[in-house]
């Protein structure tokens, strides 16, 4: 009884705070401050048509590096928690059999899904999308693969190498920015090129491709760990 009363009290205070915030909120009518600078100078300074990409990769690139680190840490902790012992590792998942439809469509669709993921992160500076979305799309391809065949062994070493190399390359490109241009993750050490071309915006396509590979490998790793944990009894 007293528990419900306390919960009600907390929620009522939240409702009160949010009501006041909502009533006093006035929608913005124009860009101000840092957003105005990004909108005005972003295309000239960075050369990316997609301003969200410009903010994520260069202006706030350091945040992105921390974010990728958090994801890596999460994947390692999950790997530590869901570790199987030697005996369980060799077991086979017993399932009722996957449907013909799923198996055939997985064979047909997985390469196309991978291709689409790569397309999304290579064109991250021109169209909506980028490393995170492309990585998630690649990981959903892997998810389709392991759903079609629950005993499928995803090559663990390949995932590990892709992840490590793209993480190291991300940091090396950032350091090249310090050495050759204005600061960490500055993309202007490669020429900006023509605005709107595929090979433009300096190092942004390169950085975002590495972020995409890293995010895709990490999410695939998490999915693989959960898949393998089904073996344990």
Partner 1 sequence: MNNELIYIILALGIGALTIIMAIIAILNKKLSIAVVAAGVVSLFASILYLFMSAPDVAMTEAAIGSGLATLIFFYVLNKIKKYND
Partner 2 sequence: MEYLNLGKISLLIGFILIIIGFWGILSQKNIIKIIVSFTILDTGINILIVSLGYIKGRTAPIIDASVPQLADHNVLNSIVDPVPQALVLTAIVIGFGVTALLLAYAMKLFKAKRTLEINQFNDLKW
Residues at the contact surface with partner 1, assessed by CB under 8 A: 50, 52-53, 120, 128-130, 132-133, 136-137, 139-140, 143, 219, 222-223, 226-227, 229-230, 233
Among 52, 26, 18, which residue's Cα sits nearest to residue 38?
A: 52
137 interacts with, out of partner 1, partner 2, none, CB within 5 to 8 A per kind: partner 1
* Choice between 145 and 211, CB closer to partner 2: 211
Under the criterion CB under 8 A, does residue 161 sit at the interface with partner 2? no
* Choice between 40 and 111, CB closer to partner 2: 40
Under the criterion CB under 8 A, does residue 84 sit at the interface with partner 2? no
Candidates 13-21, 143-151, 152-160, 172-180: pick the segment binding partner 2 (CB under 8 A): 13-21
Q: 134 with 212: CB under 8 angstroms? A: yes
Return contacts of 63-68, CB within 8 angstroms, 24+ apart: 64/211, 65/170, 65/171, 65/174, 65/185, 68/167, 68/170, 68/211, 68/214, 68/215, 68/218
* Choice between 29 and 233, CB closer to partner 1: 233
Using CA atoms, how far apart are residues 123 and 200, in angstroms rounded to an integer?
10
Under the criterion CB under 8 A, does residue 50 sit at the interface with partner 2? yes
Using CA atoms, how far apart are residues 219 and 232, in angstroms rounded to an integer?
21
């Amino acid at each position: 009884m007293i528990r419900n009363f306390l919960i009600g009290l907390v929620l009522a205070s939240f409702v009160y705070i949010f009501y006041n915030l909502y009533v006093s909120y006035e929608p913005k009518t124009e860009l101000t401050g840092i957003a105005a600078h990004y909108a005005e100078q972003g295309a000239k300074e960075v050369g990316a048509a997609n301003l969200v990409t410009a903010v994520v990769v260069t202006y706030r690139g350091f945040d992105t590096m921390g974010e990728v680190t958090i994801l890596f840490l999460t994947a390692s902790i999950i790997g530590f928690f869901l570790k199987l012992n030697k005996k369980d590792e060799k077991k086979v998942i017993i399932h009722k059999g996957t449907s013909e439809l799923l198996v055939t469509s997985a064979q047909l669709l997985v390469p196309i899904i991978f291709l689409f993921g790569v397309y999304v992160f290579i064109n991250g500076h021109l169209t909506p999308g980028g490393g995170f979305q492309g990585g998630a799309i690649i990981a959903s391809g892997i998810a389709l693969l392991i759903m079609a065949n629950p005993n499928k062994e995803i090559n663990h070493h390949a995932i590990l190498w892709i992840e490590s190399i793209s993480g190291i390359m991300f940091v090396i490109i950032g350091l090249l920015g310090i050495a050759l241009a204005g600061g960490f993750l500055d993309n202007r050490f490669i020429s900006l090129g023509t605005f709107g071309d595929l090979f433009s915006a300096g190092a942004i396509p390169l950085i975002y491709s590495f972020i995409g590979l890293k995010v895709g490998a990490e999410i695939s790793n998490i999915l693989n760990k959960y898949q393998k944990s089904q073996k344990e009894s």
